[in-house]
Homo-oligomer: A and B are copies of this chain.
Protein backbone atom coordinates (compact mmCIF):
# COMPACT_ATOMS: atom_id res chain seq x y z
CA UNK A 1 0.00 0.00 0.00
CA UNK A 2 1.67 3.20 -1.12
CA UNK A 3 1.17 6.65 0.32
CA UNK A 4 -0.73 7.53 -2.84
CA UNK A 5 -3.26 4.82 -2.03
CA UNK A 6 -4.29 5.28 1.54
CA UNK A 7 -6.95 2.59 1.42
CA UNK A 8 -5.81 -1.00 1.01
CA UNK A 9 -7.88 -4.11 0.75
CA UNK A 10 -7.10 -6.96 3.12
CA UNK A 11 -7.18 -10.53 1.88
CA UNK A 12 -9.72 -12.94 3.34
CA UNK A 13 -6.87 -14.72 5.17
CA UNK A 14 -5.74 -11.42 6.69
CA UNK A 15 -9.34 -10.76 7.81
CA UNK A 16 -9.53 -14.16 9.55
CA UNK A 17 -6.13 -13.63 11.16
CA UNK A 18 -7.37 -10.35 12.60
CA UNK A 19 -10.66 -11.93 13.69
CA UNK A 20 -8.74 -14.70 15.52
CA UNK A 21 -6.40 -12.17 17.15
CA UNK A 22 -9.26 -10.17 18.69
CA UNK A 23 -12.10 -10.90 21.08
CA UNK A 24 -14.13 -7.67 21.13
CA UNK A 25 -16.32 -6.36 18.31
CA UNK A 26 -19.66 -4.80 17.51
CA UNK A 27 -22.78 -6.63 16.37
CA UNK A 28 -25.48 -4.96 14.26
CA UNK A 29 -28.82 -6.73 14.11
CA UNK A 30 -32.47 -6.15 13.23
CA UNK A 31 -35.07 -5.78 15.96
CA UNK A 32 -38.66 -5.13 14.97
CA UNK A 33 -37.61 -3.31 11.81
CA UNK A 34 -34.97 -1.19 13.56
CA UNK A 35 -31.22 -1.56 13.33
CA UNK A 36 -29.48 -2.10 16.68
CA UNK A 37 -25.81 -2.13 17.54
CA UNK A 38 -23.99 -3.50 20.58
CA UNK A 39 -20.47 -4.38 21.65
CA UNK A 40 -19.84 -8.09 22.20
CA UNK A 41 -17.09 -10.51 23.13
CA UNK A 42 -16.65 -13.22 20.54
CA UNK A 43 -14.38 -16.04 19.50
CA UNK A 44 -13.66 -17.71 16.18
CA UNK A 45 -14.73 -21.34 15.90
CA UNK A 46 -13.50 -22.74 12.59
CA UNK A 47 -15.24 -20.64 9.92
CA UNK A 48 -17.80 -19.08 12.28
CA UNK A 49 -17.90 -16.66 15.19
CA UNK A 50 -19.50 -17.52 18.52
CA UNK A 51 -20.77 -15.21 21.24
CA UNK A 52 -22.71 -15.67 24.46
CA UNK A 53 -25.75 -13.69 25.47
CA UNK A 54 -28.49 -13.71 28.06
CA UNK A 55 -32.16 -13.68 27.07
CA UNK A 56 -32.74 -10.19 25.72
CA UNK A 57 -32.91 -8.02 22.66
CA UNK A 58 -29.87 -9.52 20.91
CA UNK A 59 -31.25 -13.04 21.14
CA UNK A 60 -34.78 -11.96 20.27
CA UNK A 61 -33.50 -9.90 17.35
CA UNK A 62 -31.43 -12.63 15.72
CA UNK A 63 -34.14 -15.22 16.26
CA UNK A 64 -36.66 -12.98 14.49
CA UNK A 65 -34.23 -11.98 11.72
CA UNK A 66 -30.87 -13.77 11.44
CA UNK A 67 -29.31 -11.15 9.12
CA UNK A 68 -26.43 -9.53 11.05
CA UNK A 69 -23.26 -7.53 10.53
CA UNK A 70 -20.15 -7.52 12.69
CA UNK A 71 -17.11 -5.26 12.87
CA UNK A 72 -13.71 -5.14 14.53
CA UNK A 73 -11.06 -2.48 14.17
CA UNK A 74 -7.71 -1.43 15.51
CA UNK A 75 -5.65 1.68 15.03
CA UNK A 76 -2.61 3.52 16.20
CA UNK A 77 -1.26 6.92 15.26
CA UNK A 78 -0.41 6.02 11.66
CA UNK A 79 -2.47 3.00 10.62
CA UNK A 80 -5.97 1.65 10.98
CA UNK A 81 -7.50 -1.66 10.02
CA UNK A 82 -11.14 -2.67 10.03
CA UNK A 83 -12.80 -5.98 9.24
CA UNK A 84 -16.52 -6.04 8.52
CA UNK A 85 -18.57 -9.12 7.89
CA UNK A 86 -22.16 -9.83 7.13
CA UNK A 87 -23.67 -13.15 8.02
CA UNK A 88 -26.39 -15.33 9.39
CA UNK A 89 -26.87 -15.71 13.14
CA UNK A 90 -28.16 -18.90 14.70
CA UNK A 91 -28.99 -19.62 18.35
CA UNK A 92 -27.22 -22.90 19.13
CA UNK A 93 -29.18 -25.69 20.72
CA UNK A 94 -27.98 -27.56 23.80
CA UNK A 95 -26.38 -30.19 21.59
CA UNK A 96 -24.04 -27.57 20.10
CA UNK A 97 -23.37 -25.27 23.05
CA UNK A 98 -20.21 -27.23 23.90
CA UNK A 99 -18.57 -25.55 20.91
CA UNK A 100 -18.23 -22.44 23.09
CA UNK A 101 -16.15 -24.44 25.59
CA UNK A 102 -13.50 -25.23 23.02
CA UNK A 103 -12.67 -21.68 21.99
CA UNK A 104 -11.33 -18.70 23.96
CA UNK A 105 -14.78 -17.17 24.46
CA UNK A 106 -14.01 -15.24 27.60
CA UNK A 107 -16.56 -12.72 28.82
CA UNK A 108 -14.92 -9.51 29.98
CA UNK A 109 -17.71 -8.97 32.49
CA UNK A 110 -18.73 -11.84 34.77
CA UNK A 111 -22.48 -11.59 34.37
CA UNK A 112 -24.45 -14.71 33.58
CA UNK A 113 -24.70 -15.31 29.86
CA UNK A 114 -26.18 -18.64 28.98
CA UNK A 115 -27.04 -18.77 25.32
CA UNK A 116 -24.56 -19.28 22.53
CA UNK A 117 -25.08 -17.69 19.12
CA UNK A 118 -23.16 -18.59 15.99
CA UNK A 119 -22.52 -16.12 13.17
CA UNK A 120 -21.79 -17.78 9.86
CA UNK A 121 -20.22 -15.15 7.56
CA UNK A 122 -21.53 -14.74 4.05
CA UNK A 123 -19.27 -11.78 3.16
CA UNK A 124 -16.01 -10.63 4.77
CA UNK A 125 -14.05 -7.54 3.83
CA UNK A 126 -11.14 -5.78 5.43
CA UNK A 127 -9.59 -2.42 4.76
CA UNK A 128 -6.41 -0.85 5.97
CA UNK A 129 -5.64 2.83 6.00
CA UNK A 130 -2.60 4.99 6.22
CA UNK A 131 -3.82 7.74 8.50
CA UNK A 132 -3.26 11.35 7.78
CA UNK A 133 -4.00 13.21 10.97
CA UNK A 134 -1.70 16.23 10.93
CA UNK A 135 -3.36 17.70 14.02
CA UNK A 136 -1.74 14.93 16.08
CA UNK A 137 1.67 16.30 15.09
CA UNK A 138 1.13 19.93 15.95
CA UNK A 139 3.75 20.87 18.50
CA UNK A 140 2.66 23.86 20.57
CA UNK A 141 5.14 26.72 20.60
CA UNK A 142 6.86 25.79 17.36
Which positions in A face B, CB cutoff 8 Å?
A: 6-7, 24, 26, 28-30, 33-39, 67-71, 73, 75, 80, 82, 84, 86, 106, 108-111, 129-133, 135
Given contacts A36-B28, A75-B24, contact A6 B69 (CB under 8 A): no
In the complex, the answer to whether A6 meets B111 with C-beta atoms within 8 Å is yes
Given contacts A35-B68, A36-B28, A86-B36, contact A109 B129 (CB under 8 A): yes
In the complex, the answer to whether B37 meets A111 with C-beta atoms within 8 Å is no
In the complex, the answer to whether B131 meets A108 with C-beta atoms within 8 Å is yes
A109 to B7, CA, bound (A): 8
A33 to B73, CA, bound (A): 25
Would you call the interface of chain A mostly helix, strand, loop, or mixed?
strand
Least Cβ–Cβ distance between A126 and chain B, in angstroms: 11
How many copies of this chain sit in the oligomeric assembly? 2
Least Cβ–Cβ distance between A98 and chain B, in angstroms: 21
Pairs A–B under 8 Å by Cβ, sample size 28: A6-B110, A7-B109, A7-B111, A24-B75, A26-B26, A26-B71, A26-B73, A28-B36, A28-B37, A28-B69, A29-B35, A33-B67, A35-B67, A35-B68, A35-B86, A36-B86, A37-B37, A37-B69, A37-B84, A38-B71, A39-B73, A80-B108, A108-B131, A108-B132, A109-B129, A109-B130, A109-B132, A110-B132
